[in-house]
Amino acid sequence: MPVEFLGIATTSDASETTARTTGSFDKDYLLRIVRAHEDNGWTRVLFAYGSSGPEPSVLASYVASRLDSVELLLAHRPNVSYPTFAAKSFATLDQLSEGRLSVHFITGGNDHEQQREGDTLTKDERYARTQEYIQIVKKAWTSAEPFDHEGTYYQLADFVSEIKPYEGRVPTISFGGSSEAAFQVGAAEADIYAVWGEPLASTSEQIETVHAAAAAAGRATPPRIHAAFRPIVAPTEALAWEKAEQVLGQIEARKAAAGGSISRRHPLTKPENAGSQRLLEIAARGDRHDSVLWTAPAKATGGAGNSNALVGTPEQVAEALLAYYDLGVRVISARGYDLLNDAADFGRYVIPLVREGVAQRDAALAQESSDAADAERRAAAHAALARQDAIAAAAEAVA
């Protein structure tokens, strides 16, 4: 099965390790970083959402008008618009990009961050609202006839959208979270379910949970799994770990310069969202897991989102990613700390190795399937000959 790669689209070069050297809103940098992904084998880029950041759908529209092939993953919070308006906006952008849009729905794991834009619902209420929201968006995309909706959070009458997604498609919906409520909603509604990069054993457990929740929701096919990592890659293992320690030192220096904080959106201790809690629990068990997974950045940032790293040579990191592929991960999110250069390097040196490994696995499976089919045909032929011999023997005995 194919493997996909997700990068990041940003309007500045700031990261956890460095202050920005661009403007706070640099549209030329935005095109440069997205082009670096497009030119180096990435499938799509994420336009992230934050309460104080630029509006991501506008950025995605700008990129769609200037770059031709990279796909666009638009992060969206249901609290910021009505679902009918969102459905029309998404369909319009999908038309402009000629079918390159996917939408990542964010329920919100931090009450304070949600309240910055007037969202005062509890976490469980937000998940229930998100599910209702997604269902309305899907119906608006596909319904040719006007429909009514009378739900807990939304009510509408006689709605039909004249703008549909490109060529009758339904854009891919992705969703993430590690709480019970998240699993229930995402497994029921999403095409792709996103988890943070964790050790192989705990990732396998999360995949099993998603699959079980999808089956409970009546789905014959569960969502594809997306896992997110921070790659730290160098020509040798020693250089990669030297680079990793530099990254950690830069994170700590930025925290110290900012008075112990690294983000207004995420606390360093006692995060509210289950995904960050899991990352910190894993980090407390040790810095290194499996072959190249490194949890020190998660510990340093309070488990702030995508924060566990893969450290090693391109070959080591690719082998680690193939181990996740073997578990069932089909979308790999990777974001370096030097955003632009790491996107180019990961695309040049790691993505081809992972795709080669996936192709080898696909070829082996095809050969196994062919061998099994040949064995089945031979067995059937032998059985037919045996029946003919038996019939002949019976006839001879009668004669």
Task: Provide CB contacts within 8 A for 181, sequence distance 6+.
Answer: 123, 124, 127, 128
| Cβ-count burial 108-127 (b if 16+ within 10 Å, e if not) | bbbeebbeeeebebebeebb
Residue by residue, DSSP assigns 214-252 as HHHTT-SSPPEEEEEEEEEE-SSHHHHHHHHHHHHHHHH
Say if residue 7 is exposed, middle or buried (CB neighbours under 10 Å; 0-12, 13-18, 19+): buried
pLDDT in tens, 217-276: 999 999 999 999 999 999 999 999 999 999 999 999 998 887 766 665 556 667 878 889
pLDDT at 168 over 80: yes
Any domain includes 377: no
What is the reported pLDDT for 66? 97
Query: Which one, of 356, 354, 279, lies nearest residue 322 by Cα?
Result: 354
**Is 40 inside a domain boundary?**
yes
pLDDT for 157 beyond 90: yes
Asked if the structure places residue 393 within a domain, the reply is no
CA pair distance 224, 222, nearest whole angstrom: 7
Residue 220: inside a domain, yes or no?
A: yes
Q: Does residue 396 register a pLDDT over 80?
A: no
Instruction: Please give the pLDDT value at position 165.
Output: 98
Q: Has residue 246 been placed in a domain?
A: yes
Confidence of residue 117 (pLDDT cuts 50, 70, 90): confident
Domain residues for 169? 4-354
Per-residue pLDDT at 386 = 67
DSSP structure class, residue 107: -
| CATH code, domain carrying 94 | 3.20.20.30
Q: In the prediction, which pLDDT does 211 show? A: 98
Asked whether residue 379 is domain-assigned, the answer is: no
Question: Contact at 8 Å (CB) between 210 and 227?
Answer: no
Given pLDDT bands bounded at 50, 70 and 90, which one contains residue 5? very high
Does residue 391 lie in a domain region? no
Please count the structural domains in the chain.
1
What is the percentage of the chain residues whose pLDDT exceeds 90?
79
**Residue 303 lies inside a defined structural domain of this protein:** yes
